[in-house]
Structure 1
Amino acid sequence: MEMEKLVSLCRRRGFLFQSSEIYGGLNGFWDYGPLGVELKRNVKEAWWRDMVSAHDDLATLPGAPSPYEMTGLDCTIIMHPQVWKVSGHFDLFADKMQTCRQCKKLVRADHVADMTRDAEWAQSFAACCFVPKPDGTMSFNSAEAISWAKTRKLGRKLAPGLALVRDPEVTMSWLAEDIENESVTPATLTLPLVLSYMATAQKNETGLQTPCPHCGGDLTEPRDFNLMFESHAGALQSDENKVFLRPETAQGIFVNFKNVIDSSRVKVPVGIAQIGKSFRNEITPRNFTFRSREFEQMEIEFFCHPSQSADWYKFWRDRRMKWWQEIGLAGERLILRDHHADELSHYSTGTADIEYAFPFLPEGEYGELEGIAHRGDFDLRSHMEGKLDPNSCPLEVQKGEDGKPLHKGSGRDLTYRDDITNERFTPHVIEPSAGADRGTLALLCEAYHEDTAPDDKGKEQTRVVMKFHPRIAPIKAAVFPLVKKDGMPEVAQDLYRALKKKFPAFYDEKGAVGRRYRRQDEAGTPYCITVDGQTLQDQTVTMRDRDTLEQVRLKLDDVVAEVERRVTGE
């Protein structure tokens, strides 16, 4: 599936729009249209029902060490700034950034290679300057490179900041010099290495430079850039009343752990769930809604006894993977990847990512949908004692130059006392953290299909169909009168109203019925019901299945129950 086709469909059919589009849009921010808001709401509601409201506190689920309780929370987006200092976000929540000395744009250091590979100017340069050889390898042609750099519609237009474009002969001389003294050989001239030479104006002074993905200019050395959005609470804008938009929902759960335990009488093991907006000042938001500056999270902080935490981690890892499969990501593009030991924080005994092969990623690469992390007691201890040094072993409070805690904790007791054993302990935390926007995007990608189906005249036509799981489809059923006469609209409208009382339904009487089918296929509506001449005779209607195109006759009085049975699977 080509990503461009999905993006076009999303805009045309009202799944997603770029925010503030009439003013040119705002990069990294997206609005959900009429169909998109229903799709995303269905994802969130399915998550909340399956994880929280329909959870059986008395049963031991398969793979769980024991029964457990679940409850919910809704915390503010702006919290006390000390929360972010103690959690580590104030000091450590940063990306390595590089600035282009020519166009002044910022790029994430870990994105530079991929962005440059995909840049229009780099692809144009490679196509012009690398010539295939009989043995299948590529040979770099320096004369073509200089010609490309001097051509107005190529180098001068596509990469005005590139050193090769600004001073072709001097820039090329550095590569020629290194080939002559055998520092490099023609056989080792890969595209990334050649581009580094092409971005270098004064090699003896600076060494090889990294080109800017945007204009080809040389980039500065990486520096830290904090990803939290800043604001101020109150009329004065000073450091004393500086606040931050939360970069994650988890910390609100940690600081309310004691409030929840004391007020709701839940007992450990217990999960506290929250769905809410988070904000990260991404420098290079990209890939549609995959990396945005404003996004929504579905998180659980699961508190358990330390001795059982490894078993609970395995339970949540497997359960969350199964959930995504159950709502429509059952194909080979969904994987569960356990982090290697060298990827883990030393206080974590396990982290796994649920990943999806998004079509905008290179073949064989996956993007994270959800992370399941064993966080130990790191967070609760930090909010009790002060910011813990993640590099200390065992964990200790990080001290400043004066020997005092760098960031003081609350001093509150966030331990838990088991009223049966009378044991007091600091619970360990298992954190399943899912992205509602990324999940919605994955479901859009998985649902997009193109196939053929007969039109009104029986001729095979290509159709676009969004094969959503019925449970998360924005519209569950559409009702059509075959024609706008003979009493058919009245029957169809009554059926539509009956369906509407149960779930989102759509009524359409405009155009040929085949065209109405196509419109609902693109919207992902799983069932279309047509009221025709036979309906008036025997009170039956036609129900068409979106995926199989199978049509069956149902009694009019049975339609609502049948659609509900198919949607819920019960």
Structure 2
Amino acid sequence: MSQDSNSTPSLQDIIGHAKEYGFVFPSSEIYDGLQAVYDYGQNGVELKNNLKAAWWKAMTQLHENIVGIDAAIFMHPLTWKASGHVDGFNDPMIDNKDSKKRYRADQLLEGKAEEYAAAGQADKGQALLAEMGRLLSAEDLDGVRELIIAEDIKCPVSGTTNWTEVRQFNLMFSTQIGSVAEDSSVIYLRPETAQGIFVNFLNVQKSGRMKVPFGIAQIGKAFRNEIVARQFIFRMREFEQMEMQFFVRPGTEMEWYDKWKETRLKFHQAIGLPADKLKYHDHDKLAHYANAAVDIEYEFPFGFREIEGIHSRTDFDLRNHQELSRKKQQYFDADLDENGKPFGNYIPYVVETSVGADRLFLATFCNAFTREMVGEGDKVKERIYLKLHPALAPIKAAVLPLVKKDGLAEKAQGISDSLKSTFRTVYDDNAAIGKRYTRQDLIGTPYCIAVDYQTMEDDTVTIRHRDSMEQERVAISELKAKIGQAVALERILEEI
């Protein structure tokens, strides 16, 4: 018997479990770590790779008109001038004079709006956010400071409202390129992956004979010198993005924008995120490149937050690159318009889908973390396991001999070896089998294969299912097909 324990995990529960079971570690921990930088452990890297593989296949395998690239992190510095990052990639920064702590002004105001919402004053919170958006759009930083003071927002550390002025802080990391310091030039670590796609637009279009509409997908690292990085891996200085830029005929962008909104929500549900923990959030303040923007948000332990953005970027990027590089970024459209004439040359508009791989990892991990009470009477106890989609689990099956003697260990090792070419399998003969089941539950392994004395007689094994803890007897010859089908990424793609 099992039942939910009605205990929602806190972020500290998630952080502790992620570290203890090899999912995420603080970077350089032996040197006391580096703020807002994390390493993925042996199980974390498998889960993250599975998420990336699911996204990649959902984009490039399910759509014949989407292809992938892998652009370099270093780019010509004029790239970031054309994109607007050199002049406009800033966050409003404010310091508390008493605590000497630095904050993002917009996050302080967003936190106050959340307090209003929690107190049943959602309209007041929305009004506050609207006023903040107006002030930031007008670049009225003095007004932002006055709004913080008027709302009596205190520093969480000092408890005072002794704030400095608000000033803009550019988020790009810069470095030098060149063998001799005096001959070097300043370049930037990319703050996003999209520009690597835009500067390769014509390379891909011409070499692949791509016809608009078509998309270019990419997974890659990006870097932002966040003022206040917080909430574990939700906001980091080094992170990974999964982006797709979809090039469309001008005038059709909103149709594609709506289509990608729907398609991307289906993806998140297909990997196991429940519909009631997902929602759309339309942007009140649009980025400089967008004429429409929406976030897909997931309900983390700290509230609803963005995991993916869908943006209609117009022709902002390609047009700016064309002007600064003096290289035409145009497409000749031979299709006929309503008058029977070719659409001709134009700069395509772009609809972007951009997922934070680390945020998606965190959402998946939070959603999978499950507590339930099992047992009867005075034997009821709490059980914790990761209810991951079988296709995403770091390990698909664990092979466990009941005991090490009488040939059971060798039989189990042979079964494990025979399955490794189809899906990731581990062999474990250390400790009582109940403890081994628990170990696999804690890292989300969907199937445990128990090898016992009956196995030696009839070549059958017991499969134990993670979520229900039910067991079934299966022939060894059926394992590869039975488990292989359940853990294939195909199961996710079928739901999109």
User: Could you say whether these structures have the same fold, taking a TM-score greater than 0.5 normalized by the shorter chain as the test?
Assistant: yes
Q: Given residue 22 of structure 1, which amino acid in structure 2 is its aligned partner?
A: I
Q: Which residue of 2 aligns with 1:185?
A: none
Q: Which residue of 1 aligns with 2:39?
A: 31
- CA shift, 1:470, in A, is 0.6
Q: Which deviates more, 351-360 or 210-219? A: 210-219
Q: Give the 3 Å change call, closer, same or farther, for CA 320–412 of structure 1 in structure 2.
A: same
Q: Which residue of 2 aligns with 1:144?
A: none
Q: Which residue of 2 aligns with 1:273?
A: 217
Cα distance in 1 for partners of 2:58, 2:311 equals 20
Say which of 101, 121, 130 aligns to 2:97: 101
1:500-544 per-residue CA deviation (whole Å, 9 max, x = no partner) reads 111211111111111111000000000111011111111111001
Q: Which residue of 2 aligns with 1:220?
A: 164
- CA shift, 1:207, in A, is 10
Cα distance in 2 for partners of 1:208, 1:555 equals 67
Describe how 1:168-179 pairs up with structure 2 within 5 A.
none
Say which of 432, 438, 443 aligns to 2:364: 443
1:448-487 per-residue CA deviation (whole Å, 9 max, x = no partner) reads 01113459xx944311100000111111111100111121
Say which of 411, 416, 426 aligns to 2:331: 416
Cα distance in 1 for partners of 2:476, 2:379 equals 30
Say which of 316, 336, 354 aligns to 2:296: 354
Give the secondary structure class of the aligned counterpart of 2:155: coil
Describe how 1:49-68 pairs up with structure 2 within 5 A.
49-52=57-60, 54-57=61-64
Give the secondary structure class of the aligned counterpart of 1:343: coil
Give the secondary structure class of the aligned counterpart of 2:169: strand
Runs (5+) with no aligned partner, structure 2: 1-8, 115-148, 337-341
Cα distance in 2 for partners of 1:331, 1:493 equals 41
Q: Which residue of 1 aligns with 2:204?
A: 260
1:186-212 per-residue CA deviation (whole Å, 9 max, x = no partner) reads xxxxxxxxxxxxxxxxxxxx9998643
Cα distance in 1 for partners of 2:366, 2:152 equals 37
Cα distance in 2 for partners of 1:94, 1:523 equals 39
Cα distance in 2 for partners of 1:356, 1:515 equals 33
Give the secondary structure class of the aligned counterpart of 1:220: coil
CA contact (8 A) 2:112 2:153 kept: no
Describe how 1:164-313 pairs up with structure 2 within 5 A.
211-216=154-159, 218-237=162-181, 241-313=185-257
Give the secondary structure class of the aligned counterpart of 2:233: coil
**Higher RCO structure (Cα 8 Å, ≥6 apart):** 2
Q: How big is the alpha-carbon RMSD for the aligned residues of Structure 1 and Structure 2?
A: 2.6
- In the alignment, is residue 11 of structure 1 matched against residue 11 of structure 2? no
Give the secondary structure class of the aligned counterpart of 1:289: helix
Cα distance in 2 for partners of 1:107, 1:55 equals 42
Q: Given residue 418 of structure 1, which amino acid in structure 2 is its aligned partner?
A: D
- In the alignment, is residue 492 of structure 1 matched against residue 492 of structure 2? no
- CA shift, 1:437, in A, is 0.1
- CA shift, 1:220, in A, is 0.5
Runs (5+) with no aligned partner, structure 1: 58-68, 119-205, 386-408
- CA shift, 1:111, in A, is 2.4
Q: How many residues align?
A: 443
- CA shift, 1:34, in A, is 0.4
1:252-284 per-residue CA deviation (whole Å, 9 max, x = no partner) reads 111111111122212211100000000110111
Q: Give the 3 Å change call, closer, same or farther, for CA 254–34 of structure 1 in structure 2.
A: same
Q: Given residue 371 of structure 2, which amino acid in structure 1 is its aligned partner?
A: E
- In the alignment, is residue 536 of structure 1 matched against residue 456 of structure 2? yes
Q: Give the 3 Å change call, closer, same or farther, for CA 101–238 of structure 1 in structure 2.
A: farther
Q: Give the 3 Å change call, closer, same or farther, for CA 506–346 of structure 1 in structure 2.
A: closer
- CA shift, 1:425, in A, is 1.3
CA contact (8 A) 1:35 1:474 kept: yes
Say which of 297, 307, 313 aligns to 1:375: 313
Q: Which residue of 1 aligns with 2:286?
A: 344
Cα distance in 1 for partners of 2:474, 2:261 equals 42
State the TM-score, normalizing by the size of structure 1.
Answer: 0.74
CA contact (8 A) 1:232 1:238 kept: no
Q: Which residue of 1 aligns with 2:346?
A: 425
Q: Given residue 258 of structure 2, which amino acid in structure 1 is its aligned partner?
A: K
Give the secondary structure class of the aligned counterpart of 1:22: helix
Cα distance in 1 for partners of 2:450, 2:159 equals 58
Give the secondary structure class of the aligned counterpart of 1:28: coil
Give the secondary structure class of the aligned counterpart of 1:528: strand
CA contact (8 A) 1:15 1:36 kept: yes
- CA shift, 1:334, in A, is 1.2
Cα distance in 1 for partners of 2:476, 2:373 equals 30
Q: Which deviates more, 345-354 or 513-522? A: 345-354
- CA shift, 1:116, in A, is 9.1
Say which of 16, 20, 26 aligns to 2:28: 20
State the TM-score, normalizing by the size of structure 2.
Answer: 0.84
- CA shift, 1:315, in A, is 1.1
Cα distance in 2 for partners of 1:106, 1:487 equals 63
Cα distance in 2 for partners of 1:234, 1:344 equals 37
Cα distance in 2 for partners of 1:293, 1:485 equals 51
Q: Give the 3 Å change call, closer, same or farther, for CA 307–116 of structure 1 in structure 2.
A: closer
Flag the structure with larger Rg.
Answer: 1
- CA shift, 1:7, in A, is 1.0
Give the secondary structure class of the aligned counterpart of 1:300: strand
CA contact (8 A) 1:112 1:213 kept: no
1:402-429 per-residue CA deviation (whole Å, 9 max, x = no partner) reads xxxxxxx111110100245441111110
Report the structure, 1 or 2, having the larger strand content: 2
